[in-house]
Amino acid sequence: MRNLVAAVSLVCAAGAAPCGAVETIVRVMTYNIHHAEGSDGKVDVARIADVIRTADADVVCLQEVDRHLGRTGGVDMPSVLARMLDMQVAFEPNLEFDGGEYGNATLSRHLIVRHENYRLPGREGAEPRGCLRTVLRVNEVEVEVLNTHLGLDGAERQKQAAAILTYVRDVPTVLAGDVNEDVRGPAVTALLARFSDAAREDAHPRYHTFPAAAPDRRIDFVLVSALLDVLSSRVFSAETAAVASDHLPFVADLRLPGVRRRGLLPGRLK
């Protein structure tokens, strides 16, 4: 957590902000970890944890996460990553096979208040998709994180985006994940009617996230509601990240508006 207490106090003294207000910067990462299998063919959960730790993310939206699956040694990846990183975790499966589960996980340094999974519409026979909604408490404010991995067909993704929009409430909200299309795609276009893109230059090559070894497209996004400010964003392209998965992580620093210690933003926790 990156509290700007000192900076806000100075502004407060100058009369530009209500006394007692605290602003918080939250670093959000979205990362498709490819069940921790890297480009070298090795399954290495510790390597994924190292990427996240080096990026110093506060909230991490992970896709393609295994739990108790034979192909990855029966490891409970959400729990192992949470323990390695000293973070809380919410996990929900979208697919069950081989005695285990496969889905999305959200890690957080902030308190996880509750979470739930929304099943998304899809084509018959296609991989089931979901949107993991996790409610966090950040400086007494309720912040919602929607973590998703959309389908491979454009029409399917458009329906999935429409479904996600029905779950969005009027509170500070982050929508992050692997959307399997670029900024001009039908799903992203629909989502941008309600959210802002954390990337400053829509299709600039420096935002390419896939494939990790030689990225030539951007399919991993952090989108934010009007109640959050984007301070910066980037692809995290450290040497380890280029090998750890087939995607590179995308990271954004977001500012939660200042609130009085005794007052909350709309959508406060009950």
The burial class, CB within 10 Å (0-12 / 13-18 / 19+), for 165 is: middle
Structural domains of the chain, with CATH? 27-253 (3.60.10.10)
- Under a CB-based contact definition with an 8 Å cutoff, are residues 55 and 89 in contact? no
Q: For 45-107, give the DSSP string.
A: HHHHHHHHHHHT-SEEEEEEEEES-GGGTT-BHHHHHHHHHT-EEEEEEEEEETTEEEEEEEE
Parallel, antiparallel or unpaired: strands 100-108 and 59-67? antiparallel
Amino acid occupying residue 3? N
pLDDT (tens, 9 = 90+) of the chain, 270 residues, equals: 454 433 343 344 444 445 555 679 999 999 999 999 999 999 999 999 999 999 999 999 999 999 999 999 999 999 999 999 999 999 999 999 999 999 999 999 999 999 999 999 999 999 999 999 999 999 889 999 999 999 999 999 999 999 999 999 999 999 999 999 999 999 999 999 999 999 976 657 889 999 999 999 999 999 999 989 999 999 999 999 999 999 999 999 999 976 544 443 333 322
